[in-house]
């Protein structure tokens, strides 16, 4: 099927953190890579990326879904809920019910819909015993929603290569360029398109770090990433408070190279 337009919705995962373009002004990420590949199949493809880092589920639905419905795109991706699973007041049943309603509405609007089972990020974060059951419940519900409404499911949870730190950035929460390329490969496969073969390849692991080097890396991570995250939670701030969607309207895609 040749899609004429594609709208991506979500948070930092879909915005593209941490896969910066060479000039450092924007993040690229899997959704941009998918759009570039789709534009090869359908020259002139319109692409919008509404995702903003730090967004919680309800705000994504309230702000981004109406825009996607207005744009009336042939293809949409919807990835949300990961930030909510990290919050103390997480309400799985309410989120899952609204998730189902969003996908049903998008499908009724005539769009093919891509949704995700998230990869297991809890292996590298504190609080795994609390967060893991939440992610598992979300992933189970996503599969049921895909079956119920005919959405295209991208199952990152089942890909054990995402257990490797080589696919994640130094903050241990966001994917790096290799991780985003692997996600793009999964998405294109779900769309019955062939990705670039090298997008499946993990980078060289390099030399094994000593115990002391690993503990030093843990200390740097806690200081540079975990402590600021905690401060934002305590003050009610978000990393996306002053960030706007990088592609708020449908526009042709310019190839960037992979």
Contact between 52 and 17 under an 8 Å Cβ cutoff? The reply is no
Q: Which two tokens stand for residue 116?
A: 């995700």
Predicted confidence at residue 188, as pLDDT, reads 98
Predicted confidence at residue 207, as pLDDT, reads 73
Of the candidates 9, 12, 80, 10, which has an alpha carbon nearest to the alpha carbon of residue 225?
12
Domains of the chain from N-terminus onward: 5-202+245-252 (3.40.50.1110)
Q: How far apart are the first and last CA of the chain?
A: 24
d(CA 103, CA 76): 10
Of the candidates 151, 139, 123, 126, which has an alpha carbon nearest to the alpha carbon of residue 222?
126
Four-point Cα dihedral 88, 93, 94, 96, nearest 10: 110
Predicted confidence at residue 80, as pLDDT, reads 97
Give, in degrees to the nearest 5, the angle at Cα 173 between 168 and 178: 20
Contact between 69 and 109 under an 8 Å Cβ cutoff? The reply is yes
Predicted confidence at residue 52, as pLDDT, reads 98
Residue that is written with structure tokens 């978000």 in the block: 238
Q: What is the SS3 assignment for 40-100? A: HHCCCCEEEECCCCCCCHHHHHHHCHHHHHHHCCCEEEEECCHHHHCCCCCCHHHHHHHHH
> How do the pLDDT tens digits run along the chain, 258 residues long?
689 999 999 999 999 999 999 888 899 999 999 999 999 999 999 999 999 999 999 999 999 999 999 999 999 999 999 999 989 899 999 999 999 999 999 999 999 999 999 999 888 778 888 899 999 999 999 999 999 999 999 999 999 999 999 999 999 899 999 999 999 999 999 999 999 999 999 988 777 778 877 777 777 867 877 777 677 777 777 787 778 999 999 999 987 755
Predicted confidence at residue 257, as pLDDT, reads 59
Q: Which two tokens stand for residue 27?
A: 């993040």
Q: What is the SS3 assignment for the chain? A: CCCCEEEEEECHHHHCCCCECCCCCCECHHHHHHHHHHHHHCCCCEEEECCCCCCCHHHHHHHCHHHHHHHCCCEEEEECCHHHHCCCCCCHHHHHHHHHHHHHHHHHCCCEEEEEECCCHHHHCCCHHHHHHHHHHHHHHHHHHHHHHCCEEEECCCCHHHHCHHHECCCCCCECHHHHHHHHHHHHHHCCCCCCHHHHCCCCCCCCCCHHHHHHHHHHHHHHHHHHHHHHHHHCCCCCCCCCCCEEEEEECCCCCC
Q: Which two tokens stand for residue 209?
A: 């770090």
Question: Which pTM was predicted?
Answer: 0.93
């Amino acid at each position: 099927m040749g899609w004429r337009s594609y709208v991506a919705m979500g948070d930092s995962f879909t915005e593209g953190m941490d896969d910066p373009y060479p000039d450092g002004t924007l993040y690229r990420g899997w959704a941009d890579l998918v759009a570039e590949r789709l534009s090869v199949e359908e020259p002139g493809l319109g692409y919008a990326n509404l995702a903003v880092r730090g967004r919680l589920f309800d705000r994504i639905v309230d702000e981004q879904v109406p825009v996607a419905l207005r744009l009336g795109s042939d293809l949409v991706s919807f990835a949300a809920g990961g930030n909510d699973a990290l919050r103390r007041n997480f309400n799985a049943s309410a989120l899952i019910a609204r998730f189902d309603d969003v996908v049903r509405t998008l499908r009724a609007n005539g769009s093919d819909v891509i949704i995700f089972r998230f990869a297991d990020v809890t292996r590298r974060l504190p609080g795994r015993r609390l967060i893991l059951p939440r992610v598992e419940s979300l992933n189970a519900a996503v599969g049921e929603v895909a079956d119920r409404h005919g959405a295209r499911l991208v199952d990152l949870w089942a890909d054990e290569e995402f257990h490797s730190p080589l696919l994640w950035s130094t903050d241990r929460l966001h994917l790096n360029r290799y991780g985003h390329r692997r996600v793009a490969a999964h998405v294109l496969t779900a769309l019955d398109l062939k990705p670039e073969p090298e997008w499946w390849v993990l980078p060289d692991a390099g030399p094994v770090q000593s115990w002391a080097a690993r503990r030093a890396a843990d200390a740097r991570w806690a200081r540079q990433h975990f402590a600021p995250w905690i401060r934002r939670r305590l003050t009610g701030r978000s990393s996306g408070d002053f960030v706007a969607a990088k592609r708020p309207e449908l526009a042709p895609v310019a190839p960037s190279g992979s």
